[in-house]
Amino acid sequence: QPRAMACSLKDELLCSICLSIYQDPVSFGCEHYFCRRCITEHWVRQEPQGTRDCPECRRTFTEPTLAPSLKLANIVERYSAFPLDAILGAQRSPFPCKDHEKVKLFCLTDRAVVCFFCDEPAVHEQHQVTNVDDAFEELQRELKEQLQGLQESERGHTEALHLLKRQLAETKSSAKSLRVTIGEAFERLHRLLRERQKAMLEELEADTARTLTDIEQKIQRYSQQLRKVQEGSQILQERLAEADKHVFLAGVASLSERLKGKIHETNLTYEDFPTSKYMGPLQYTIWKSLFQDIH
């Protein structure tokens, strides 16, 4: 029944020319109303006949004056903002307006309770307006859906937090275990390196001692030979300094015996110190030895 009443009231707000809701409703002497543009265009079409009539009652006018209907315009404006079926289907609010008790509506777009007579219709034009009962059911349904979504989100977040906390504990435990493993692995490598360093230093000391001994022995031997060579050279110089021929020749017979063991050739042979074994690509050498140890 309210919908039928709403349709009936809506028909009262239709322009009989354009069959749409009044736009700037005007009257001109009779009790009928039209859109200003519709009646103006109607009269323009009648100019060749020289008459002005009312499309409803056919009453003619010589020079009609268009008078705006502010009251009807206000009703049209409010109808455009607030659907009549919502107005007719609403109950009186238990909290009446300050100045007068009027029916309450609800704007779903603005999420606010509005009054058909108190609020500005233009504010809610093209908005979704309905009665309080329907709005209550609609918003109850929406809020229940939101609650269900929030509850599902809560369960998801709770499960996610549980998994994250478990992962946090497992990560800390794994990191602790890995620290021990890494420490032990590098300690083994350090031990192998220290052992390899010790062995290489011992080998270096052995090579150094052997080489130094060989050199010192050769120095001693060549020092002795040098003294004998110097003695032989002095004997020859003394003999060559003899000016008396008879004395010079008399001493030649014993010269060979005196020079015996005084003449030595320099046949020095020595072995290079094995520096390449300790310099070269030392890191590569150590890596090879470590690789064998680790393997």
| pTM score | 0.39
Q: At what angle do helices 245-252 and 132-240 cross, to 10 degrees?
A: 120
Residue in the block written with tokens 């800390």: 172
Res 230 pLDDT > 70: yes
Q: At what angle do helices 282-294 and 132-240 cross, to 10 degrees?
A: 120
Over residues 109-128, mean pLDDT:
63
Res 240 pLDDT > 80: yes
Lowest mean pLDDT among 37-41, 95-99, 197-201, 227-231: 95-99
Looking at per-residue confidence, does 115 or 161 come out higher?
161
Res 4 pLDDT > 60: no
pLDDT at position 250 is 79
Using one digit for the tens of pLDDT, what is the confidence trace for 255-287? 877 878 777 777 777 677 777 777 767 778 788
| Residue 145 tokens, joined | 């859906």
Lowest mean pLDDT among 18-22, 25-29, 47-51: 47-51
Q: Could you write out the DSSP letters of every residue in 166-229?
A: HHHHHHHHHHHHHHHHHHHHHHHHHHHHHHHHHHHHHHHHHHHHHHHHHHHHHHHHHHHHHHHH
